[in-house]
Structure 1
């Protein structure tokens, strides 16, 4: 019985909302007839006019004459706007790269992407910049397998990478000719993927065609009766998803955790390592479980949880650890290249076998014991003290941040412009909801990038013995702060993704079409007024703003996709 009364109460509330719906054209006609007095008439710029000529009314008169409720819900208008402006984007979300075995982790990555397009764009831009950086970083080295190393470690950006130098594991992998097969096989396996599927191309084409057609249709049809439910702003707001999907398809990220682990395990099964007496044995027979290149996908520390997730959006969390791992490999190739260039064998007792300069060193010059291999992988010239952050990381972070902000605020700004210049001109419920979305997206990006920096600081050991150890309480504070920022950022991202979906539904279903929202009350305050009937000048100015919004959103999308294409293919 109690449940019955609750349902009855809810039903009566919904029915009262339906019957309290506002018919603004009828309301304006009653106002013009003088049913509510002769004060409160306005033109569409907020100037007082005779009530019989009014096309707009003050907010106070709107409440008195029309009520505080929204316009009635029209299924035909909603279904058309929803299927044209929002549904294609929701369908395109399925083309985002995932990779985790845990469905909840995949859901988290979707909510994080929708809740913070800035973070998604930042991770993608970092991935592209890293590919360019590693190619230039290794360009001067001439030792065998260096080109394969570039491709392999570039493809492992989506993996929680760990490089082990102990017991000459890394030196053996770089120098020993027996390990050439390791580099060849892993390079082939990692590049044996094809991401441009028919499904992906069809989804992208559908979204692009739907967006173009609906934009053209919005400029060529009469929008008077459904002007506030028009999805022009909604379409521009979601346009960021297009370059993110296209960018990841260009890169083809290797993010399937099971497949990645299988590839590394198979490759490590044929890896060789040198012993103290100079014998070369399979690494799996060396008595240790460690390998030169490992993946630490299993989560053992909550501090590095995001780093373990292989979805590409978490590349922001793997950026600094990945750079440090690549630097270890870079140093090994640097030392081996220096010694090879000077015709020095791994074992000093073995004479250098003269071959053509363009050929690989002879196999005899690439064998030795464990100590000799470790010494061979040290550069001949003393190197500067390595930074705990890695080379050029902050310049890449700055470039990626600029691109992320441009894409986020370019698309959101387009939506804001469209809503702002749709009469009544000013900051209303629609434009404010888009600003909230973009601001929260930016906050999430700041929180999670800050968390990744603190995580790296808390986990990175000092590189020099003479460096003063960091006090334990500072490390603990960094750990706790990092975990707090990460959880806070992901919570805000989840709420933001729910918020923008609800906001778009309100936009398309006329829920925002009420006196308060149409009058831009919290922006105009006491000067608030509601435009009810559009005139020719309004349509011209409004469509000009819409056109500017479309060009703004399309422009930042083209710039971002162009950046990814140039950096990805012109290396």
Structure 2
């Protein structure tokens, strides 16, 4: 036994040593014992799926004493016989369709909240399995499927859960970070496209192919943290990055092409599966809208629609991660980039910026898709510098074909720093999430009893919590320096995100199993406008045009959902030639991009015209804030 254990430990140690030195994904040795293979952890997608399903399928009591249909019939019978105490009959103000019904021939019978609890009980009327399973199959399972399509990292279950809490609990910040990375990648693709004439597709080897590798690597580098501690180190890293990305020496070009090809092979696939999940979510929303506006349902159909509207930001977030797709093995790609820059240092023969450290790492943690807080990236500084150079229009590569200016021109702004242009990504993310919360709020608020209740109040709380996470994170970024303050702020934000995540899970569980189907939630007690209960159904409400409020909420969400998905798909189609591995496929993609841009010339000119005024406004703000060193950076950005 001791000898066998020694052999097993020796094998494990050898696997560890080889794993540290490997240069690419390796398959396990077929000679390894089967029991040892079971000890190797996987990406744990099954654990994540079980965790989410456990949260979203929390069992609730199936035998409830409350039955509102029978209770309503009993109360109406007591009122007809004169046996119902007068203080139990509601006579206060009424909003919405029930208020209009008061002056009609068939007014709704309203009782007070106290009467409802007296005759119907204080426990909710939990939904039967048939109704609960309808919500599970229509919304819960598609939502879980969408979340599982997100770009998680393998063999890191703890970090995966933190990322889930961040994406779901703080969707505005997460979407803002992803939109910002999409903008950087889009700018890289535009600069590669503009480097040659619009009808040129030069084959490799060519300066066009070299620039395609350079800007693709810049978009990858943008998603990693930099180990910068002093201004001297920042300038040194900037120099090494410029040389590694844009130097035209043959030796460096060969190394750069080799690294770019390797990282392209490591890029995640699976776009079709994610799009299929998005299509299923849209089909579920269509079914829910049909049920709510058709003559099929009761109140639960409208509330299911509200639940779908509340979560409509999730497809946009997941679709955006397709454009901002991370490598299959982020640590392997980081090692490749660090080794590449060490080789560049050796070629340049520059002194080490980390004294006493053997083989220092310039790149730190992978920060894509908002994984690392307060990560801005280095690409924007490089791109703004290149845009400011002379002659940067269509065919600009011919001007700098025989010069080293691309690799020697330094950035006049900081290598890593916040730029006001990111505010637009913040606004877009805020509008996307808030439009979904508002749409759900409108549907539930104006469904009798009209007023702020459990459902509409819960949607409002989720939106406010997401906005609060955005404000706290931006405040910590602006006013706290890296160190103890930021670390404390990070744990506070993690607590806020986890709380909002749990609140959203509670909303889904309560809607699925009928926890909201109680006297307190039916009477909309929160805002003071309710306080009464009726026992009518959707057909009665529809006779007083309740669909108008549902239409307002549905349009509010669906318009922003359509714009968000269209924007993400357009960005994917116009950027994919940058990271496509096969050259012919990449050039076919670029041909389609140019045809699409030609077909949409008019709208693009309008947006470019608006961008000029936006940049001018940024310049005025910078001048007002006293940032004169950035004023020379005030020029229209490329938006073609």
Do structure 1's residue 394 and structure 2's residue 441 form an aligned pair?
no
TM-aligned CA distance change 1:169 to 1:20, over 3 Å:
closer
Kept in 2, the 8 Å contact 1:81–1:230? The answer is: no
TM-aligned CA distance change 1:377 to 1:505, over 3 Å:
closer
TM-superposed deviation, 1:387: 4.9
TM-superposed deviation, 1:114: 0.9
Counterpart residue number, 2:317 = 244
Does 147-156 or 493-502 show the bigger shift? 147-156
Do structure 1's residue 191 and structure 2's residue 272 form an aligned pair?
no
5 Å matches for 1:72-151?
A: 72-99=126-153, 101-134=155-188, 145-151=210-216
Structure-1 separation of matches of 2:73 and 2:565? 48
Counterpart residue number, 1:294 = 362
**TM-score, structure 1 normalization:** 0.72
List runs of 5+ in structure 1 lacking aligned partners: 1-13, 297-307, 342-355, 367-374, 460-478
TM-aligned CA distance change 1:31 to 1:407, over 3 Å:
farther
Kept in 2, the 8 Å contact 1:521–1:528? The answer is: yes
Do structure 1's residue 319 and structure 2's residue 319 form an aligned pair?
no
Does 427-436 or 80-89 show the bigger shift? 80-89
Structure-2 separation of matches of 1:78 and 1:564? 33
SS at match of 2:528: helix
Counterpart residue number, 1:464 = none
**1:288-331 alpha-carbon deviations (Å, 9 max, x no partner):** 8557x8322xxxxxxxxxxx35451226532156645x479x58
SS at match of 2:509: helix
TM-aligned CA distance change 1:58 to 1:289, over 3 Å:
same
TM-aligned CA distance change 1:385 to 1:155, over 3 Å:
closer
| Aligned counterpart for 1:495 among listed residues 499, 514, 534 | 499
Structure-1 separation of matches of 2:304 and 2:331? 41
TM-aligned CA distance change 1:139 to 1:89, over 3 Å:
closer
TM-superposed deviation, 1:96: 1.0
Aligned length: 481
Counterpart residue number, 1:483 = 487
Kept in 1, the 8 Å contact 2:176–2:425? The answer is: yes
5 Å matches for 1:322-341?
A: 323=380, 326=382
Structure-2 separation of matches of 1:273 and 1:497? 48
Kept in 2, the 8 Å contact 1:448–1:489? The answer is: yes
Do structure 1's residue 263 and structure 2's residue 328 form an aligned pair?
no
Counterpart residue number, 1:470 = none
Counterpart residue number, 2:533 = 530
Structure-2 separation of matches of 1:535 and 1:295? 59
Structure-2 separation of matches of 1:289 and 1:140? 41
Larger radius of gyration: 1
**1:47-93 alpha-carbon deviations (Å, 9 max, x no partner):** 8799x965322223323333332224422211112221222112211
Do structure 1's residue 425 and structure 2's residue 450 form an aligned pair?
yes
Structure-2 separation of matches of 1:15 and 1:315? 41
Structure-1 separation of matches of 2:141 and 2:406? 59
List runs of 5+ in structure 2 lacking aligned partners: 1-59, 197-205, 575-592, 594-639
Structure-2 separation of matches of 1:359 and 1:120? 38
TM-aligned CA distance change 1:31 to 1:16, over 3 Å:
farther
Structure-2 separation of matches of 1:538 and 1:48? 13
TM-superposed deviation, 1:425: 0.9
Kept in 1, the 8 Å contact 2:295–2:539? The answer is: no
Counterpart residue number, 2:222 = 157
Counterpart residue number, 1:505 = 509
Counterpart residue number, 2:326 = 253
TM-superposed deviation, 1:480: 3.3
TM-aligned CA distance change 1:452 to 1:323, over 3 Å:
farther
5 Å matches for 1:51-62?
A: 54-62=108-116
Structure-1 separation of matches of 2:189 and 2:412? 22
SS at match of 1:88: helix
SS at match of 2:362: strand
TM-aligned CA distance change 1:211 to 1:384, over 3 Å:
closer
Structure-2 separation of matches of 1:311 and 1:384? 23
Counterpart residue number, 1:25 = 72
Do structure 1's residue 409 and structure 2's residue 434 form an aligned pair?
yes
**TM-score, structure 2 normalization:** 0.65
Kept in 2, the 8 Å contact 1:25–1:532? The answer is: yes
